[in-house]
A = this chain, B = another copy of it.
Amino acid sequence: MQYLPPAMERLTEQFKKLPGIGAKSAQRLAFHVLSLSREDAAAFAQSILDAKDKVHTCPVCQNLTEGDGPCALCSSYKRDRSIICVVAEPKDVIAMERGGEYDGLYHVLHGVISPMNRVGPDDLKIRPLLDRVAQGGIEEVIMATNPDTEGEATAMYLTRLLKPFEVKITRLAYGIPVGSHLEYADNATLMRALEGRQEIN
């Protein structure tokens, strides 16, 4: 990667740091930036700074938000304020909202308990969740962490902490993904789908 001007080298290096971007892609992206107008490049640079400077977490649900006070979801009068769906990351809120079915509130943990990665309960936004439930008015807490070991362990841990508050605690159903085939389902999923079988009316 010699014979590129230093500024291009630096930009290529910056792109290479991004997840999923290799050396070839990074170079292509750097050349693309060079082909932008000065205004478009400035807008790109500014959007990076803005994301860092303006975005913070909602004081209630810990999801990402801009501006003061609770986020749009937490302050919406259209949402059922008696249900909290607990997810690991802000992108999981987006996934749930994409479904369009859920109309309750959220709580974003910003991670899962993971001894391997040295993430303990104190590194997650668990305290604010307990505070919300302790304040009363919550009837159900849905655990919607990912169905892997760490997500499961986190859900179990939270369930134990939430038990004293006598709220209903539920878990997203396991099963065969819609549109997939039985023959391609792994055994664990198939067994869970069998356990969770439902009566057809």
Contacts and interface: CB of A to CB of B under 8 A. Distances in A.
A197 B140 CA distance: 77
B97 A2 contact: yes
Interface in A21-41: 25, 27-34, 36, 38, 41
B41 A49 contact: yes
A48 B41 contact: yes
A52 to B, nearest CB: 4
Interface string A1-18: 111111110110110011
B97 A7 contact: no
B52 A8 contact: no
Contacts of A53: 7, 38
Given A29-B19, A52-B41, A47 B94 contact: no
A108 to B, nearest CB: 11
Contact of A27 (B6, B13, B31, B91): B91
Interface stretch (A65-73, A112-120, A165-173): A65-73
Q: Which of A28, A47, A48, A91 has the most CB of B within 10 A?
A: A48
